[in-house]
Structure 1
Amino acid sequence: MSNTYSVDPDITVAATIAPSFYSDDATYALARERIFARSWQWIGDLADVAQPGSLSPRELSPGCLDEPLLLARDAAGTLRCMSNVCTHRGNLLVKAPCRGEQIRCSYHSRRFNLQGRMTFMPEFEGAKNFPSASDHVQARVGWMPLEQFRHDPSLNRDFEIDAHWALYVENYLEGLHIPFIHPALNQVLDFHNYRSEIYRYANLQLALAKDGEQVFDLPASSPDHGQRIAAYYYWVFPNLMLNFYPWGLSLNLVQPKGVARTRIAFRSYVWDASKLGAGAGNG
């Protein structure tokens, strides 16, 4: 079906636009992009942003574009309209009208001034030479007796979320949100020594534990021998997660169900049941 629609400018020969304009999903998507997203839209009055330092969230064309916006009036009195999502992980920044001197993302504590410029990002002060090369999966966890791991159906979990599958993967691939979203896990991990290693078709997040927390008993042959490893978090392109803990393996499979619907299956393979319920793999 053609997505081209026209009305003859001569009213004496003009015909009603094709019915598909009103019912075709692809046409509706084009209309959102080419009509609404390219035109001015009213987002309300400005009473709640009258004073310097005022912040007020808006939504551009709810139900159609659903674009989160933020009205911000800086200390000099200049009013700006900007995106209300963080430039890093897309987290919503301001959820209700308020006053402030800066905008702070609750996900990683990235901060912005009221002109919309980023002013601070935790843990990136000394970042350089990233990413770095590393070993493959077998070299890191091949010493584990995988043939002894046993599937425990009682630990199975399945979730469906209203999100594109790649968003779930992207969220898994960074650990910077741990102190803000996973406080219990943050109590276990030595977050300042948390690191990621990039391979061609995989990624490893190496989680070290704080003193007194559960860790692997690594053999001398392990390249990580001497370190307090709490977990190996592997992602294998495009949708497989292999989370190795001292108790065994939590396998996560990300299954796209549609553009904005994803199913995640959690399957557990137990090596040492006595270590369940403790450390980084607790829950």
Structure 2
Amino acid sequence: MQTPAAAFYNSPARLQHEYDEVFARSWQVVGHVGQLQQSGDYFTTQIGSEPLVFVNDGGTIRGFFNVCRHRAGPVAIGCGHAPRLVCRYHGWTYELSGRLLRTTEMEGSDFDPEQIRLQPVAVHILGPVIFAALDPATPPFDSLFPGVAQRCAPLDIDRMQYVTTRTYAVNSNWKVYVDNYLEGYHIPLVHPSLNREIDYRQYITELGERYVLQFAPVRAGTAKLYGGSAGNQEAVYYWLFPNVMLNIYEGQMQTNVVIPLDVNHTLVRFDWFALDSVSSPDGKERWDKLVSFSEEVQAEDAGICEIVQGNINSRAYRSGPYSPKRESGVHLFHTLMRAWD
């Protein structure tokens, strides 16, 4: 198999197909448990163009399409705390379980309120991260990504708390950015600082059916990435099909969600979580180093992805071979995407 032709990266029709078929039938990051700490807490968000609301219903996190079953009004706006969900259009009221509780001025109508509920979406929690799947036929998270939760558990992600969110605009197709993430092949040339921190010769890529795990030993005496105390710390980088990354190292985790805007533009959202407080002087200094290093790497990735996107649009671009040693993750991603064609 050769690398994809240019249309894989620059066809608007293909991107629309990916919205409709791939993203709507996959697990997507929608938020974190810190947003829903108490029963009645809620927040709204979107997957693509689909409006969603997530609630804490007596300790159970539930998700629904943010669409009233009457005439499509929103049952929540923004975020906050409420004992029930009330449509902001005509006042239809729903329990946090999604069941219709009461209506306004519907006397004489022959509908059965007991048969009306908000349309749910599937929810899965991994550590502090909330995932959701729009299509009810989407297989369970753990069946698609077996072993991921168990591999992450020793890294204490369940105890991590939200710190901050940062977003980065990248002038490339979303798949160019994912390609770049899925191989360490580019590290020596694109990331000189990172290359000094890790042992590139021992860089390992492990493949699941729908995920990729990458990791590399940290060189002794590192000072930039690990604040000078690498010890036995381990850097673990997961990619979950199609567009979610989990970067876990030194008591913190980033979730990177790659969001296509159009064929040439992508938004990457980083949510940061940490085990320890970052408000103390020592914690803040260490955290600032981690964030600064991450932003350096992100800028380097964005820069090369933007050049690659421009070159893919060139008439000179042709498909090429994969490196069996360094590009097995990229090959898996392309195989999975081509299966939707």
TM-score bin, normalised by smaller chain: 0.3 to 0.5
TM-score (norm 1): 0.44
Q: 1 or 2 for the larger relative contact order (CA 8 Å, sep ≥6)? A: 2
TM-score (norm 2): 0.37
Greater Cα radius of gyration, structure 1 or 2: 1
